[in-house]
Structure 1
Amino acid sequence: MVAQETTVQTSPSRWKKFFREVKAELKKVSWPTKQELISNTGVVFVAVLVIAGLIWAIDAVFAQILHLIIK
């Protein structure tokens, strides 16, 4: 069985069509307001801090347990 080699032809008209469709899709996006963006950014920042604190606490506990086992 012989594998056939296929090449994809990319013409400028295909690129134009692609970017036209991307632009059309971006117009359909429901963009957040500035206030929503600030609020959501704050929520993400707080969530990251909480998760980082939890990971730090769990790591500290396991480090102490390991220190007791090794000692």
Structure 2
Amino acid sequence: MSFLARMKQGFGRTFGYFADSWSELKKVKWPTRKELTSYTLVVLFTIAFVTVYFYVLDLGISELLRLVFQ
């Protein structure tokens, strides 16, 4: 197989990959603006809750260690 034939075969696979990717993206059900807003709010509230939870937990453990080593 000549060099040019191998190059053509390689580029054919690359273009085929992008064509397949594009056809799969057409099958995706994208969220509506309302769904996206509600999902974003859920994520932000979850992050805030977990942050506060670990902050309080860290304060508690720090206070316990301070009392033990004092």
Task: Give the TM-score taking structure 2 as reference length.
Answer: 0.85
Gaps of 5+ in 2: 1-6
Partner amino acid, structure 2, of 1:19: F
Counterpart amino acid of residue 28 in structure 2 = V
Matched residue type, 1:30: K
Per residue, is there more helix in 1 or in 2? 2
User: How many equivalent residue pairs?
Assistant: 63
Sequence identity percentage: 30
1:9-48 aligned within 5 A: 11-48=10-47
Task: Tell me how far apart the structure 1 counterparts of residues 29 and 64 of structure 2 sit (CA, whole Å).
Answer: 50
Once residues 64 and 13 of structure 2 are traced to their aligned partners in structure 1, the CA distance between those partners, rounded to angstroms, is 62
Q: TM-score, normalised by structure 1?
A: 0.83
What's the CA shift for 1:67?
A: 0.3
Structure 1, residues 7-46: CA drift from partner, whole Å, max 9, x if none?
xx87111011000000010111111011111110011000
Would you say 1:53 and 2:36 are equivalent positions? no
4+ runs deviating over 4 angstroms: none
